[in-house]
Amino acid sequence: MSKRRDPNPEFDLFIPALGDLPLRDQREVMERPFFSLQKRKRLKPIEYRSPDGEAWVRVQAIPDYGMATIWDADILIWAASTLNRMKQQGLNDLPRTLTTTPYDLLRAIKRSTGGRDYQELQAALLRLQTTSITTSIRASARRQKAGFNWLDSWTFDTDAETEQPRGMTLTLSDWVYEGIVNEKSLLTMHPDYFLLSGGLERALYRIARKHVGSQQGGWVCRVELLRDKTGSDAQPKEFNRMLRRVIEADQLPDYTMETTETADKSPAVLFRRRGEAEALALAEKMRAEDERRARVDADRRRTEEVDARMDRLAGRR
C-alpha cells in the first residue's frame, strides 16, 4: 500500500497553480472499469455488465502497447479540465484538438519532468490511442452500442538540434469529446487525486466521488460488485486483501471507507464524506457521554432517595 506523494514539492512560478485549473472528469467513466489498475502491461480484456444488465463495457488492448492505465487517464482529466475552463471563459467553439507542451502537461498532472517521464508520456499517448472500447453507455436504444479509442491522434514535437520535447497536440475521440462538452457530464475532483500512487486507490476514489458525492449517510457497496466496478483482474481473495489495506491506510481524499455488511450479510464497504464521518464520530462520542452522565445522575438520585428513606426510618425510631 503506497502513500500519497508529491513528486514536485517546489512551486514553479511559470506553471499555473493547480488550483487555477479545477479538476473535472466524466461521471460515466468514473463509476465503471475503463482502465487497467496495474502499470504492468495488461492484455486481458475488461468485461463489465451492470447488475441490471443495462450498461456494459468491453475494453481491449493490442499486444504491442497494452491497455491504457488509470494513470494514463490523467491526460484525459487534464483535457476535460482544460475544456471546462474554456467553456467557463465563454468560448463557444470548443476544440477537439488541444495544444500544450509536454512539460506543462506533466506538471499539471503532478509528474516529474525528467527524460524518462517524457518517454512514459509518449507511451501513455500510444495506449490511449490504441486501447479499444465498446460500450452500451449513451446508447439511445437497448441494442445500440458504440466503439471508440480515447484519442484519435497525437503529435509530439522535438527540437531538431537538442532533441528536447517542445510542443504536443492531442485529438480527443468523438465519444470522449461529446462526454466532456455535455453540460452535466463532468464532476469535480480533489487535486490530491493525482498524488494517489495505487491503481486500486484511484479507482475507489473515482467510484466514491460518483456514488457518494455530498449525500448524507454515505453509500454502501458489496465487495463483489466493487471488484467488478474497479475492473480488477485480481482473484477475489487477493482483491479483498488489497481492499483491506486501502481501508486501513485511509488515504483517499474527501472520503473514508469502512467494512460493513448488507441486509443479506454480504461483505460490503461503506463510503462516507470525511467531514460527515468525523461529525458522526463526534456525535456518537457526545451521545455516549450524555448516556454516561444520565446513568451517573440516576445512580445519584437513587442513592439520595435511599438515604432519605433511611433517615426517615431512623427518625421514627
Residue 66, helix vs strand vs coil: coil
Give the pLDDT confidence of 29-78 residue by residue, as tens digits: 999 999 999 999 999 999 999 998 889 999 999 999 999 999 999 999 99
CA dihedral sign of residues 13, 19, 21, 25: positive
Answer yes or no: is pLDDT of 217 > 90. no
For residues 44 and 97, the answer to whether their CB atoms sit within 8 Å is no
Tell me the whole-structure pTM to 2 decimals.
0.81
Residue with cell 421514627: 316
How far is CA 158 from its chain centroid? Answer: 33
| Segment holding 179, helix H or strand E | helix 174-181
What's residue 183's pLDDT? Answer: 66
Answer yes or no: is pLDDT of 191 > 70. yes
**Which of these, 257, 204, 210, lies nearest to 24 by C-alpha position?**
210
pLDDT band at 281 (very low <50, low <70, confident <90, very high): low
What's residue 2's pLDDT? Answer: 47
What's residue 16's pLDDT? Answer: 40
CA 301/CA 29 separation, integer angstroms: 61
How far is CA 71 from its chain centroid? Answer: 11
For residues 232 and 207, the answer to whether their CB atoms sit within 8 Å is no
Strand 46-49 and strand 56-60: the pairing is antiparallel
Q: Which residue has the higher pLDDT, 76 or 115?
A: 76
| Cell of residue 286, nine digits | 457526545
Give the pLDDT confidence of 297-307 residue by residue, as tens digits: 777 778 777 77
Q: Which residue has the higher pLDDT, 56 or 2?
A: 56
| Segment holding 196, helix H or strand E | none
Q: What is the mean pLDDT of the chain?
A: 86
